[in-house]
Amino acid sequence: MTIVYDKLMALAVPPREQSYAAKDCMLYALGVGLGHDPMNEDELPFVYEKNLKVLPTMGTVLGSPGFWARERDTGIDWLKLVNGEQGITLHRPLSGASTVIGRVRIVEVIDKGAGKGALVLSERKVTDKATGEPVATVTQTTFCRADGGFGGPPRQAPEPHQLPARAPDAVCELGTRPEAALIYRLSGDLNPLHAEPEAARQAGYPRPIMHGLGTFGIAGHAVLKTMCGYDPTRLVSFACRFSAPVFPGETLRTEMWRDGNVVSFRARVIERDVIAANNGHAEVRV
């Protein structure tokens, strides 16, 4: 398989209609680790239908087109791809039940060179089916590790958000459960890399890894808890670059810097002292 630049840029991904309800919101929250402590009343509204709150990062799984890199003729070696960067902008707080439509377009394809992989930048607009109003804009950079050198036109990858040089203003440690990826995948990402040991070995990992979007949600939980007082209406946007995999059962230490309404962050795996999510940028309502 080989990427053909013009063909991939013109890829037509059908719109995805999705209806979700309170159960889906609670399952997503459980998948990113809320509810570990049944006595924590700050987290309870996200995993219990009474006075339900919805995590803002759940917008990343709404209207998802599925595993389009494998299911459509893309030329991508899907076994070797990983989520490189992720972002979401909320145009309004997520409701606990709705029907939405997600529309995906390929924004750019960047050839990093033979042996260096390729980057596929995509954008998904999520709208309310009943009103047509925008709900969220989801951006993603997919790192196709085995697909560099296809001869794409020269393009420069976007520069990452730079973290402040000073010590973090706040830190939040959140553990993950060994079965975290198996729970998270029920929110829609069924890539066997996160469930099957053999698929993980074929991709070069010793065991199944956490979804990048799972790590994204855990870091989002840390920012929501620390900078927003668990008020989901205060988190406007959230984005980061993935720099290392997380194995379910590990602990993430999210370090945060606050400058006005901008929160910069990174998330470190404590057990291996590696940065899993870096160059994070969030916008919060003060």
Phi, psi of 156 (to 5 degrees): -100, 130
Q: Is the pLDDT of residue 162 over 80?
A: yes
**For residue range 180-192, what is the model confidence (pLDDT) as tens digits?**
999 999 998 888 8
Question: What value does the mean pLDDT take over residues 156-165?
Answer: 93
Q: Is there a contact between 199 and 192 (Cβ–Cβ < 8 Å)? A: yes
Does 59 have pLDDT greater than 80? yes
- Long-range contacts formed by 131-135: CB under 8 A, 24+ apart: 133/91, 133/92, 134/91, 134/92, 135/59, 135/62, 135/90, 135/91, 135/92, 135/94, 135/98, 135/100
User: Is the CA virtual torsion 105, 110, 114, 117 positive or negative?
Assistant: negative
pLDDT (0 to 100) of residue 83: 85
Judge whether residue 70 has pLDDT over 90: no
**Exposed/middle/buried for residue 26 (C-beta within 10 Å: 0-12, 13-18, 19+):** buried
Instruction: Outline where DSSP puts E strands in the chain.
Output: 16-20, 81-90, 98-111, 118-128, 134-144, 170-175, 235-242, 251-259, 262-269, 274-284
Quote the pLDDT of residue 284: 98
pTM above 0.85, yes or no: yes
User: Is pLDDT above 80 for 270?
Assistant: yes
Q: What is the pLDDT of residue 278?
A: 98
**Where does the pLDDT of residue 146 fall: very low under 50, low under 70, confident under 90, or very high at 90 and above?**
confident
**Res. 36: pLDDT tops 90:** yes
pLDDT at 157: 85
| pLDDT greater than 90 at residue 175 | yes
Measured distance CA(213)–CA(135) in Å, rounded: 18
Average pLDDT over residues 29-35: 97
Query: Dihedral of the CA atoms 286, 124, 266, 207 (nearest 10)?
Result: 140
Tell me how far apart the alpha carbons of residues 74 and 70 are, in angstroms, rounded to a whole number. 8
Q: For residue 76, what pLDDT band results from cuts at 50, 70 and 90?
A: confident
Tokens of 255: 């370090």
- Please give the average per-residue pLDDT across 38-46, as a whole number: 96
The 10 Å CB-count burial string (b at 16+, else e) for 192-223 is bbbeeeeebeebebeebbbbbbbbbbbbbbbb
Percentage of residues of the chain with pLDDT beyond 90: 80
DSSP symbol at 96: S
Sheet holding 81-90, edge to edge: 16-20, 98-111, 118-128, 134-144, 81-90, 235-242, 274-284, 262-269, 251-259, 170-175
pLDDT value, residue 22: 98
Quick one: pLDDT at residue 69?
76
Give the per-residue pLDDT at 145: 84
Residue with tokens 């958000």: 161
Report the pLDDT value the prediction gives residue 265, as an integer from 0 to 100: 98
DSSP 3-state percent helix, strand, coil across the chain (nearest 5):
25, 35, 45
CA–CA gap between residue 84 and residue 240 (Å, rounded) = 9
Average pLDDT of span 71-88: 85
CB 13 within 8 A of CB 65: yes
**73 pLDDT band (50/70/90 cuts)?**
confident
pLDDT at 67: 74
- Distance between CA atoms of residues 178 and 248, nearest Å: 5
pLDDT at residue 108 greater than cutoff 90: yes
Mean pLDDT within 63-69: 83
CB distance 282 to 267 below 8 Å: no
The total number of structural domains that make up the chain: 1
Q: Which domain holds residue 244?
A: 5-284
pLDDT digits (tens, 9 = 90+) for 236-260: 999 999 999 999 999 999 999 999 9
Q: Which of 275, 280, 240 is nearest to 256 (CA)?
A: 280
Q: Can you give the CATH number for the domain in which 200 is found?
A: 3.10.129.10
Q: What is the pLDDT of residue 15?
A: 95
What is the per-residue pLDDT across 196-240, written as a single tens digit (0 to 9) for each? 999 999 888 999 999 999 999 999 999 999 999 999 999 999 999
Phi, psi at 202, each rounded to 5°:
-65, -30
Q: Indicate if the pLDDT at residue 132 is higher than 90.
A: yes
Contacts of 198 (CB under 8 A, 6+ apart): none
Mean pLDDT of the chain: 94
